[in-house]
Structure 1
């Protein structure tokens, strides 16, 4: 069965976020280790060095290939095992990210958000994060990782459509606001 796109776009005070969820039959502390322990993170996304407690970390997203470059990570908030907020990448071109975990009735929901810098240029973030999070599910469930070819080309139209629709709505809202001030 082909994976389906699961992301949605959410408007927040500081911009538009791509937001995706995954659910696990596991306690929150177990799922948190896939974000907080480098060996577990390496099973699905990449490896890191440094200490989140200092707010400075380096991340290499090996899910993108073994030649992936190290990126700066600035941890802005870490409230284990519930919240992680960070900027990933070089200053001026970083991506704001958040991870929220909640647990109820023996299940943990992971919500990941990535702020988009441009609706017209970053629709490819959707397929990538569906792929990364499905890799997380596979790592947790001890199953083979999915193949990228089932994500990028197949899901791109869905995410481009979401971005076009929201971009149109934002332009309409901005025009209405300008007209209201005139």
Structure 2
């Protein structure tokens, strides 16, 4: 399989037909390998964080790339292995529903993250973070240096305007 490169020149996010934020990354994996990178705790620890708990009653995720390595709760709403995972994370005003889709793409697999975003400032806050983490996923799966991916200034503030523009005046 060929090795995809990280997005070189900036954000690649779009709005899906239903208005959700959509961010897609190509991996040098089979669909099964990409699914494992999203769901196996040993593999998620290489790019996102560790998790523990029960997928039925809830899991706790410790985000390893965030300052202070915070923990967040998550609940699996739907799981159609190895193609679709629907998660609910957070609480109250910070409650998000995330959909992760995996599909064949050329000689590898594509992972698409979808999240409902309602306004430009919300998009400017959320989008760069998910691009950061998905680029870390690509780095982990291609053998690149995950730690070399810098959130600031490359993602924030570097990509915020792109996300604002996706949701401006809609």
TM range (shorter): 0.7 to 0.9
Pick from 6, 9, 22 the counterpart of residue 12 of structure 2: 6
Matches of 2:104 and 2:36, distance apart in 1: 14
Matches of 2:119 and 2:61, distance apart in 1: 23
Pick from 157, 161, 165 the counterpart of residue 157 of structure 1: 161
What is the SS of the residue equivalent to 1:148? coil
Question: 1:31 Cα deviation (Å)?
Answer: 1.2
**Does structure 1 retain, via aligned residues, the 8 Å contact 2:31–2:82?**
yes
Q: What TM-score does the superposition give when structure 2 sets the normalisation length?
A: 0.85
Q: Which has the higher helix share?
A: 1
Rg (Cα) greater in structure: 1
Equivalent residue for 1:180? none
What CA RMSD, in Å, does the superposition of the two structures yield over aligned residues? Answer: 1.9
What per-residue deviation string (whole Å, max 9, x for no partner) do you get for residues 49-74 of structure 1? Answer: 1122x151111222223x13221111
Equivalent residue for 1:81? 82
Unmatched 5+ stretches in structure 1: 170-182
> Number of aligned pairs?
161
**Does structure 2 retain, via aligned residues, the 8 Å contact 1:3–1:151?**
no
Matches of 1:76 and 1:94, distance apart in 2: 13
Q: Following TM superposition, where does structure 1 have runs of at least 4 consecutive aligned residues deviating by more than 4 angstroms?
A: none
Question: 1:76 Cα deviation (Å)?
Answer: 0.4
What per-residue deviation string (whole Å, max 9, x for no partner) do you get for residues 6-38 of structure 1? Answer: 1112353xxx42111011222111111111111
Q: What TM-score does the superposition give when structure 1 sets the normalisation length?
A: 0.80
Matches of 2:20 and 2:50, distance apart in 1: 24
